Amino acid sequence: QGVRIPTLGSFDVVPTQTQVGNEVVIIQRPVFRLARNLAIVHNLIDDKDDLPGNKELEPMKYAKVATDAFVSRQKVGGCIQGTMSLLSYCLGKGENVALVLRDVG
């Protein structure tokens, strides 16, 4: 199940065919798609071919994340907002950005 984080972007997996020897294997490739507002503000190209068309992604459940991480919902929202702000700042400065998510994919 994919997830959408407003103002930051969305995470999902996309089935991709890969040739392994004489055999074609389908693997699930993790994909991150930057939120439209960030892409527009920073004049970034939106590669719509990465995600299957019209797939509905579930919004991130801030309350569940907060419960699982033993922090408040406000703390989760603040972390997401801080991450989005830092990402936007780095993109605005033309810096390379690596968003590393442990245990995803």
pLDDT tens digits for range 17-71? 888 889 999 988 888 888 887 788 878 776 555 455 556 677 888 898 899 999 9
Phi, psi of 82 (to 5 degrees): -65, -40
Per-residue pLDDT for 73 more than 80?
yes
CB 38 within 8 A of CB 44: yes
Q: Determine the pLDDT at residue 105.
A: 46
CA-closest candidate to residue 13, choices 65, 44, 55, 46? 55
Q: How confident is the model at residue 88 (pLDDT cuts 50, 70, 90)?
A: confident
Contacts of 18 (CB under 8 A, 6+ apart): 24, 25, 26, 27
Q: Determine the pLDDT at residue 71.
A: 94
Q: What is the pTM of this model?
A: 0.59
